Structure 1
């Protein structure tokens, strides 16, 4: 795991509230022109616009920005990681289902 540039994204744990996530999703829109996500959220009764860019995600998750950083992973490694995380569904499908993960 230490070799992966996405280790922090996979291992960081933080608290999130379902109501906050639901409110963000309900009000969010993807802007094709600028490649950003805009959402209007209420903070202490005041509406504020939240803008999420690719650069912001890279900073928060500490993704490396050099051109030699991997952007894809071998299929065998992905399937092995899924099994180690307790995934019990079919591994050859295009989508992995959240319900097939064992609870931690």
Structure 2
């Protein structure tokens, strides 16, 4: 039972859970024409689409989100002596 619990914990912490649990609906209006007949729709799925939807963030062009706590910690470790919740940082407050 323990290995199974470890696998579940790994899945919960990884992006795999998003891929397994997210549901996306397909509407009838997407697959039928005005007469109610089914329409063949060309569908192209690229690796970049999969990376974007799963939010893998492993591509050089992907945005990286840094937590507010980490950001503040970095500023303080650099010696910043101002109020870190300001909308802008003052360069003169760095050593």
Query: Would you call these one fold, judging by a TM-score over 0.5?
Result: no
- Taking structure 1 as the reference length, the TM-score comes to 0.32
Q: Which has the higher helix share?
A: 2
Q: TM-score, normalised by structure 2?
A: 0.35
